[in-house]
Structure 1
Amino acid sequence: MLIYGHLFSSYTWKGLIPLYACEIPVEFRAIDADNPDNYAFVQQAHPAGKFPVLCDGDTVIVEATAIIEYLAATQETAKRLIPTDPREAVTVRMLDRIFDNYVMATAQHAVGAYIADPENPDPKQLEAASTGLKRSYAWLEKWLGENEFPSHVSLATCAAAPSLFYADWVERIPEDCPRLAALRAELLALPSVSRCVEDARPYRELFPLGAPDRD
Structure 2
Amino acid sequence: MSLVLHYHPLSSYCWKVQIGLYELGAPFEARVVNLGDPQLRAAFEALWPTAKIPLLEDGGRVVPETSVQLEYLDQRFGGGLLPADPDARLEARVWDRVFDNYVMTPMQKIVADRLRADEAKDPQGVAEARALLQMAYGMIEAQFEGGGRTWAAGEDFGLVDCAAAPALFYAHLLEPFGERPALAAYFERLLARPSVARVLDEARPVFQYFPYRERLPARFWDPPETLA
Contact 1:54 1:62 in 2 (8 A): yes
Aligned to 1:45, which of 47, 54, 75?
A: 47
Unaligned 5+ residue runs, structure 1?
none
RMSD: 2.1
Question: Which secondary structure does the structure 1 equivalent of 2:93 belong to?
Answer: helix
Match of 1:182 in 2: 185
Say yes or no: does 1:195 pair with 2:198: yes
Contact 1:5 1:28 in 2 (8 A): yes
What is the deviation of 1:45?
2.3
Contact 1:4 1:31 in 2 (8 A): yes
* 1:172-210 superposed Cα distances (whole Å, 9 cap, x missing partner): 1112x1111111111111111111111111222222233
Moved more, 117-126 or 5-14: 117-126
Matches within 5 A, 1:54-65: 54-65=56-67
* 1:71-125 superposed Cα distances (whole Å, 9 cap, x missing partner): 112212xx11111000110111111000000001011221121121369843212
> What is the TM-score of this pair, normalised by structure 1?
0.90
Question: Which secondary structure does the structure 2 equivalent of 1:80 belong to?
Answer: coil
Question: Which secondary structure does the structure 2 equivalent of 1:116 belong to?
Answer: coil
Equivalenced residue count is 212
Moved more, 148-157 or 79-88: 148-157
Taking a change above 3 Å as real, the CA distance of residues 138 and 96 of structure 1, as seen in their structure-2 partners, is same
Taking a change above 3 Å as real, the CA distance of residues 63 and 33 of structure 1, as seen in their structure-2 partners, is closer
* 1:17-65 superposed Cα distances (whole Å, 9 cap, x missing partner): 1111111100100113798776444322233210111111111101111
Unaligned 5+ residue runs, structure 2?
221-228
> What is the TM-score of this pair, normalised by structure 2?
0.85
Match of 1:139 in 2: 139
Taking a change above 3 Å as real, the CA distance of residues 112 and 44 of structure 1, as seen in their structure-2 partners, is same
Q: Matched residues, percent identical? A: 35
